[in-house]
Structure 1
Amino acid sequence: MSEVIVWKVLWSSNGYRGWDDRVYREFFLGGRAGGLGFKFFAEYGFGFEWWNFYEGFSDDFYFGYAPPVHAMRPRKFRSGGLVFFISRSAIGNWYVVGVYGDCVISDEPFDVGLNLWDTVDEKYKGHILDVTRRELMSSNPFYLRASKKCSTVMPIPFGIDLQQDLGVKPLRQAFFTYIDLDRAESFLYKLIGRVDSLSDVGDYWCSVDDCLRRLRFLLEEVIPRLRRGQVRPTGLTVEHPHVVKVVEYPQERVVEIPESLVEKSDCS
């Protein structure tokens, strides 16, 4: 079992807070849909991971997605662990964009209680194509849930070197890879230093102070708990403004990502 995943997601320009009209217009409507490297985006013009840090689903939790979790689960991931989200810009550079702590991956999607089309600002709806609108109205692939207390988007995307910062090889066609707790702890120290170096005022995706508080909680509370082997119990009650639901989280997944889609790090 592994407590930490590094997971590749579609690029966002607004901090994964919901619908990203800038990326939609520039790449999908602009005829550059293939430039971001995701087949789903090339077909529909968005990614469900754009809602990974959307504040409107719940006061206590983020509900998220990362490809291809709707079809296959990372079998070795231990519930209650960490997920570092990384993304590649159109020019090919890698960035860390956020982290989930105390994360669980369900076998069934969480009912977030909202139609994603209804989360899109009215001023954007007029130029959204039918193929996009239909998918927004019909799909709900949010299989990830994480505590807001120890989960955060980065204030800005931080450029990273996959090998030096995370100890992983180039992902190529892989969607994610596992890393160990030592590497995750070292990376959290680096992130705290980079966030702490930002000025108090800027055009940020989130509050610098909030981000620091949540990263430190990960470092001081979640990492030690994972080292002690303490995991969250199954049968967690999921509560948010629209629905209360009980979900079971088995420790072993029955479906495994094919080896061709997963690359293990040198340190895992």
Structure 2
Amino acid sequence: MASGRPAVVTGANKSLDFATSRDLCRNFPGDMVLTVRDQTRGRGRAARQHLKAEGLSLHFHLLAIDNLKSIRTLRDFLWEEFGGLDVLVNNAGITFKSDDPTPLHIQAEVTLKTNFFGTRDICTELLPLVNPKVSRVVNVSSVMGFVTLKQCSPELQQKFTSEAITEEELGMLMDKFVEDVKNGVHKKEGWPDMKLVTYGISKMGITILSRIHARKLSEQRRDDKILLNACSDAIKSPEDGAETPVYLALLPSDAEGPHGEFVMEKQVEQ
């Protein structure tokens, strides 16, 4: 599938992120660009040295997905160095533990800024660089997104599941959640009252954003073969959790799907 353009994985230092990067490195027939926020932390340094020792073609680039300047620096590097990319796996993200004492409104702001808006900004900047003949885009979401959607009010569920929802409308809803939490009215406004609600909302947003982007690509495409999907993150070990993102990233060049789906354990979830 290689065309001289690389596979890019955002977030490559820890657990699932590294497992996905490692498996892609071993199976993608081309260059790999792994992005990290800090090259000295996590499993990163020794693990990257180990991968390089295997003779794999690796490049590393700093990336803070909550910083638009950082994203654009990566974009410029990919264009200048490779002329684009073939595979994009949006792995980077954060979550607060259920017992974290950080106030909920801070958790909401930080989590949405990173997980949802950061992923959105990466797609905005990098999707124009993807190879229209072969590219695969994988947004790592979570089954928690489904759980969270079901806990939303019927009114919110209707908005989120609308086939006509736009990226702008989705962004406004994500902003509304953050503001409602800050104002202490998120329960009244129909948002879930549950543990890890900020993580769930952010991942729900990523799944819906993936559907929107896939729909746009389908409307624009003629002979394009870009396949864009969301998938669940690890529900078992990091190695098991990496299986589906890698599967979607390596879909063969003649594959016609899945596209615009949420995939878990290599199966499309309805």
Into which bin does the TM-score normalised by the smaller protein fall? under 0.3
The structure carrying a bigger strand percent of its residues is: 1
With structure 1 as the length reference, what TM-score do the two structures score?
0.28
The structure carrying a bigger helix percent of its residues is: 2
Comparing both chains, which one has the higher relative contact order based on Cα–Cα distances under 8 Å and sequence gaps of 6 or more? 1
